[in-house]
A = this chain, B = another copy of it.
């Protein structure tokens, strides 16, 4: 069995040691990477939403599995927010990701914390519902502040 050994702290340490841009050959690679990471995370998060909202039957094992994937994926895409990749079109990051980076990073950390709680609490429907709502709130908070509508 293989498990993700990455702590948020370890990723932060790596990010500090190596400028994010250095991890990508071109800014477009960073954009593609972060979008891909969010796509995978969203696919699994939406399955939790379907259970939390009663659209599919609750299944503790499936909920926990999906929540663990969400929690792991939540650690990845933020490395792809490299300088020079702000946009103006719908769904692209606003320039304040970089001008207000401390707030953006705090939002990323909040998502990581809440999704870890989601993974820990997805084995009961009540636990899932509460943690899903809290996690979804962290998504929305960042989207409202940093994403072009």
With A1-B116, A6-B65, A36-B37 given, name 14 new contacts (CB 8 A).
Answer: A2-B112, A2-B115, A4-B68, A4-B72, A5-B64, A5-B68, A6-B69, A11-B65, A18-B62, A33-B43, A35-B36, A36-B36, A69-B76, A72-B72
Q: How far is the CA of A83 from the CA of B80 in the complex (A)?
A: 32
Can you list 29 residue pairs at the A/B interface with Cβ under 8 Å?
Answer: A1-B8, A1-B116, A2-B4, A2-B71, A2-B75, A2-B112, A2-B116, A3-B68, A4-B4, A4-B68, A4-B69, A5-B65, A6-B65, A6-B68, A6-B69, A10-B61, A10-B65, A14-B62, A14-B65, A18-B62, A23-B43, A24-B43, A29-B43, A35-B36, A36-B36, A36-B37, A36-B40, A37-B40, A72-B72
Contacts of A14 in B (CB 8 A): 61-62, 65
Contacts of A109 in B (CB 8 A): none
Contacts of A65 in B (CB 8 A): 5-6, 10-11, 14
